[in-house]
Amino acid sequence: MPKQNNKGSVMALVLLMSSVVIAASTALLSTSVMNYKMKRLNSRVKRTFYSAEGVLDEAYVITFNFIESALEYACDKENFRDAYLNFIKGNCEESGSDNGLIKSLKDKSNYLIYKGSNTAIDAELLDKSDYMQLEVVSCCTDDKIEKKLKLICRMMIPGYEVSPDEISAEDLICIIEWKLER
């Protein structure tokens, strides 16, 4: 029997093995790149969420301090309750400012951390029968990522018979809801 020439079979085997290795490497590289992009996107989403949450934290502190100031302002007034409400709503002629709670919350210069950030702040004060409801919305955007959080607080209105020394800001404000809008 004559001998067959197998010189080309080694070359074909090398090309086949090379193409399998290249295909596997490409699939692995593609998976790694996709994983990196997903982790980076997840990191941006978390950073946006925490930024929006941080604004609400600061808004709560601003509200708390504002209530303390309202209590101090109203403590020596003849009609404590009305003076307190006027201060909260920004209707005080004596203080020389119409800067109520809502204006203070919307003013970014009152925030320590989020002054120039990509966060929008909206606030609304709703009058209820024996309390006020404060709703603060924080919307943070990072390119196409947007996180909107809402804080709802109940602010009790002190009664006419309450002495200013008997009440503190901690007694008057209560967080009702803290939720993700989007």
Average pLDDT over residues 56-82: 90
Q: In a 3-state reduction of DSSP, which class is residue 162? A: coil
CA–CA distance, 88 with 99 (Å, rounded to integer): 9
Residues in CB range of 21: below 8 A, 6 or more apart: none
- Burial per residue of 68-104, b for 16 or more beta-carbon CB atoms within 10 angstroms, e otherwise: ebbbebbeebeebeebbbbbbbbebeeeeeeebbbeb
Per the CB < 8 A criterion, the answer to whether 157 and 125 are in contact is: no
* Structural domain contains residue 71: yes
- Tens digit of pLDDT for each residue in 135-173? 999 999 988 899 999 999 999 988 766 666 788 888 899
Looking at the domain assignment, is residue 4 inside a domain? no
For the chain, what is the domain count? 1
Q: Which residues pair with 141 in a beta bridge?
A: 146
Q: Is residue 2 part of a domain?
A: no
pTM of the model: 0.80
Contact call for residues 160 and 130 (beta carbons, < 8 A): no
Mean of pLDDT over the chain:
88
DSSP calls for 117-150: SSEEEEEEEEE-SSEEEEEEEEEEEETTEEEEEE
Whether 18 is covered by a domain: the verdict is yes
Q: What pLDDT score was predicted for residue 61?
A: 94
Q: What range defines the domain where residue 17 resides?
A: 10-180
At 164 the pLDDT is 64
Note the pLDDT of residue 62: 94
Residue 3 lies in a domain: no
Contact 161, 79 (CB under 8 A): no
40 domain residue, yes or no: yes
Has residue 90 been placed in a domain? yes
Residue 136 lies in a domain: yes
pLDDT class of 126 with cuts at 50, 70, 90: very high
> Has residue 96 got a pLDDT over 70?
no
Identify the band that residue 130 occupies on the pLDDT scale cut at 50, 70 and 90.
confident
